[in-house]
Structure 1
Amino acid sequence: MGRRDIDESDFRSRPSKRGSRPRTKQRPEHSDAVTGLVTGVDRGRYTLLVKDPDDDATGTSDGRIVTAMKARELTRTRVVVGDQVDVVGDVSGGEGSLARIVRIQERTSTLRRTADDTDPYERIVVANADQLVIVTALAQPEPRTGMIDRCVVAAYDAGMSVLLCLTKADLASPDELRALYEPLGVEVVVTRRAPTGRADGGAGGDAGQAVGGLVLAPESVEEVRGRLRGLVSVLVGHSGVGKSTLINALVPQAKRAVGVVNDVTGRGRHTSTSAVALPLPVAVAEDEPSDAFDGWVIDTPGVRSFGLAHVEVAHLLNAFEDLDEVAQECPRGCTHLADAPDCALDDWIERSPDDERAARAARLSSFRRLLSSRTGSDA
């Protein structure tokens, strides 16, 4: 039997013992509904961006900010940031107006997590994202590869690409983490901080970038921006790794709260309390104001765990085409781990040409590390 995703919409309640009036199966078509992008969720109210029909999807940020609630028939269906929804009612965006979400359009991707590896309840983080950006500090706090591995697994399971953003390169070298993740096909980008009084532009950083007399070096911010253009990117990371600082540099009007790392525990304080989608500006210079944007950045609350109870091993293997093809020769029930007897992946290494063996071995080792994180604990 193939894999089947189950969510809140699969719930069916029993009829009342007192009986009820037969309900018609016909539902309004809502042919007059307009499409909105969910950019924020707050206690049952949804912030939507409703685009004007003449605007293209990513050309300008012109549109109406509309507040909406869910229609009754969607009571048990979760609407999340990134969803494209059909909306009826008052979509003027005027003060005090309230629209109604009547449909959720088909999702192209769904990033999920569970509380731990035994929790059967899946929590949808965001929908319709193209790329997961894992923000990790190289120091203060120290990087946790177990957490990175789990985020990579969740992204591949969702069909998303992965970008590893290593921050605070002014404190430590990124070489070790590059060697761990580049064999998996994970792209890596590095940011560093510079003193606010630098003559090359560091002093002119946007408000909210400065932390402890430092700002993000403009060239490293622009390198990150280049990896986000034209995409819907979700940023995740532990508290204190510099995620909010990075977002403020990319989207100055965001003004996300910036926290500090506790000197005793080495952990940061949660500053982002809910997911929010922000348009990625094409230009950020103060003397060149522009509403044009090219992509979306979704900030998420800091996390300390990323459960993977929903991820199937076979589905993870599908993300690695070369390994998946070789694994078809494995005996039935093979775990593909290092201690698995007669695993075809080990033979693949032994049979490889001398000039490819090291690269193949590194890729298999990295894959098995991800596989172990599926049921192991955080590093």
Structure 2
Amino acid sequence: MAQSVAPPVAPPWRRPLRRLHHRTVERRAATGAKDLRAVLGVPLDGGLLRRALTYQAEGQVVLRILVTGFLTVMVTGFLFVAMKGNCTPGGWLPGPGAEPSPCPTHRYKVTVAQVIGLAAAAFTVAAVLRNAVGAVAVRPACKPVFTALDVLRACAQACEPGAGHPEAARLSKKAQALGQALVDAAGPVASDYGARPTTRKRLRQHARLVAALLERTADELLPDRDRATRKLAELAAVIAEQVADGQFTNLLREHGQPPDLPTSAPESPDRADGRRLAVAAVTALLVTISLAVTTGMLGLPAFVTAPLAAITVPLLTFLLLAHRFGLSEAVRLVQVLRTVRGENPVEPTAAPERQEAGSDTGGDPPAGEARGAGNSA
């Protein structure tokens, strides 16, 4: 492992988001180097990690503001339509005597619009600050570095005096999360290189093999906690440095002897897929319930809200999955759910089709039968 280089200069005060991001990256890199030194006594290439975890959020803030504003306008318009009263834009409504009079619901609509606008602005500001403090505005391909640093932190805690089963169990979960992070990062990496199917398949397959190795090493925490902890710390440090260096298809292969990677890995981790679907479905259900309660209080009839709820839950679930994991991963998760429900039967293989074609009366007879027929003739 290479020696750490001097940390870069902090961004100026006129860029507060970059400055917050820089401070978090410096702290995480220093903590990871300290944890690795405490477990194995070797240094960590903090300079390589700092260069890979630079602030990369061009266009994300503007896109987030546009999306939040669009959703705010949609929700505000939906509430305005649901509220009683048919106000004109100026807030006046013709009275019984054909004289314009103040609309009774105009003041409530203005208040609701102001509350929704302030809440959306506060949510956007809080999300931007949280992302800056958490240093998540990095290249999607480099996000597994943070998970690898979490594994190093868990390894250091498991090696502390008095550590026992809770620390080992936490380390096992962190190791599994690192494997899943590598699998998730395969999609963005493939997109960076052109999103070709062969590139995506190669990256994802190699990431699954590394994830299987991490899970197998984590299973050794039960019989031999000390050795498995040191092994996980070693693997996490190498993965962090190689991911930061862009060696996405060469993880762990240049680390001493070639690692004993499993020959196969599970196609899709059932536990991780189930967690994703559960979180997205529950979030969509809570949002739908909130909208139904709000529209019910505003007087919208039930025969209108019920069909909307039936459409909103699956639509929001798919949109949440697509926003969090990408469109291709969301489609795959929906297909997994349909397979579990039995809506996607398995297609017949090609071998029976070839056998049926050979046994067809309209096809050519087998070679043995043709020779037998020729001899009898």
TM-score (norm 1): 0.23
Kindly name which structure, 1 or 2, has the bigger radius of gyration based on alpha carbons. Answer: 2
TM-score (norm 2): 0.23
Structure with a larger share of its residues in strand: 1
